[in-house]
A and B are shown apart, each in its own frame.
Chain A
């Protein structure tokens, strides 16, 4: 127990970095993912193909490989970062955006057909149909799965700890080395800070889900 309290500053620093990684990658992934979903339903075949290809590859590549690529292969190919956080954000947002795109697409499919037909019949163009009518409704229904994706993102950010970023898991590894005899408590501390993020988000997802269910 003492080990936890003695290293609270490290935990706090790691906690903030985990939050930072998740927040920045989450926002980037939401934007790119929505764009990918829009491309997926667009009339232009080339955009559809590109979106499908990207999502298929990103979803089926293990995150560790993407990290390996971003943190180790890219620098050796001449693309250098001052901080490994940048590599982590590239890897996390690229990976997560594929899942966001899939969620948004299923949301678009869940909007009743009549909505799009009505919008088209009053003369709206494709971007207007999507931006004004379909996406606002689709995004509403995908809030619960989106929260689950964010929870997964928070947990996935732990992989960054293995690639030179000192977030919660990175500090956990360091502290486990330092306090070799109190590994149990050190890791329980790390687990506690992760649950501090994921459990409230999970409760929020349950809550929103129930609200949406009632609204329908």
Chain B
């Protein structure tokens, strides 16, 4: 599509864009050089500051980082495993034919979607006096099950009407038709959105930092406090790098699934995105 927006650049335009790019790159490199120079003057790049990752303390440091990473992944995995079935259940309630089931569920879903995740974690932590792990998982489950429910609802509603009608016509009950006919197709159709939401869930485990759960970021801070302010930057840099690498890996997985799915789309299962279910910044 994007190439439709402009003519193929001629020699003059290519020349301009080449020199512009070179100039822009130089400017960015210049700013980076100034930043690096400032950092270097503060000794950020001195070998002894990065020694924590390969020197004598390295085993302890990596141990701490791995513990934090384990805690992050554990919270994400447990939350995802609980949130998905709960999301399916909420979705079924949300599209129930009985108004006094459907409407209260809608209100609950709106409520859950409108609340900051960190507030829900904090609420569970203080009101139910649970451990930090439970609070983090509860916050993530409450929020993400609501999102999963909305994604699946959009998926079911995007199916051709005939699917449900055919199910009912061969004598399935409403619930059977939902479970056997509609839900499997909806999950398949919405797989890219569901995986994208998993990335969001993984990212949101870092909110555990705020409620005191000892995940990667908190461990990094503990480490920096213990080793002294000189090591804050290296520790932080490593933590951010680990987070970004994992998230990009999962995002790539989502893109790969999307591609694979769209190849199969000819078989009648077509991917659809519902505007309301697009995973947004949260």
Contacts and interface: CB of A to CB of B under 8 A. Distances in A.
Contacts of A130: 5
Contacts of B4: 113, 116-117, 120
Given A109-B1, A183-B127, A202 B113 contact: yes
Nearest to A143: B275
Contacts of B21: 44-47
Contacts of B240: 61, 65, 69
Interface string B33-72: 0000011001010000000000000000000000000000
A115 B18 CA distance: 28
A99 B122 contact: no
Nearest to A95: B281
Interface in B227-252: 229, 232-233, 236, 239-240, 243-244, 247-248, 251
B35 to A, nearest CB: 9
B114 A43 contact: no
Nearest to A96: B281
Contact of A159 (B13, B210, B276, B280): B210
A68 to B, nearest CB: 7
B110 A202 contact: yes
Interface stretch (A9-17, A83-91, A144-152): A144-152
Contacts, number: 174
A194 B119 contact: yes
Nearest to B246: A60
Given A43-B6, A60-B248, A61-B247, A159 B115 contact: no
A64 B233 contact: no
Given A68-B217, A109-B1, A209-B275, A158 B118 contact: yes
Interface size class of B (residues with CB under 8 A): 35 or more
A163 B6 CA distance: 45
Contacts of A184: 127
A169 B13 CA distance: 52
A164 interface: no
A10 B206 CA distance: 27
A194 B112 CA distance: 11
A155 to B, nearest CB: 4
A63 B278 contact: no
A50 B21 CA distance: 10
A152 B4 CA distance: 33
B232 A73 contact: yes
Interface in B111-126: 111, 113-119, 122-123, 126
B239 A195 contact: no
Contacts of A24: none
Nearest to A43: B6
Contacts of B126: 176, 183, 187
B5 A41 contact: yes
B199 interface: yes
B2 A41 contact: yes
A158 B232 contact: no
B31 to A, nearest CB: 13
A130 B203 CA distance: 34
A43 B17 contact: yes
Contact of B217 (A59, A65, A169, A194): A65
- A-B pairs, top 6 by smallest CB distance, nearest first, are A46-B21, A62-B206, A198-B114, A152-B281, A60-B247, A158-B116
Given A158-B119, A187-B123, 18 more contacts: A43-B6, A43-B13, A44-B17, A46-B20, A46-B25, A47-B21, A57-B244, A59-B251, A60-B199, A62-B243, A76-B232, A113-B1, A120-B7, A145-B275, A148-B276, A155-B116, A159-B210, A169-B116
10 contacts: A41-B1, A43-B13, A47-B21, A50-B28, A56-B248, A61-B247, A64-B207, A65-B240, A116-B4, A134-B5
Interface of A: 40-47, 50, 56-57, 59-65, 68-69, 72-73, 76-78, 95-96, 99, 108-109, 113, 116-117, 120, 126, 129-130, 134, 144-145, 148-149, 151-153, 155-156, 158-159, 161-162, 169, 172-173, 176, 183-184, 187, 190-191, 194-195, 198-199, 202, 205-206, 209
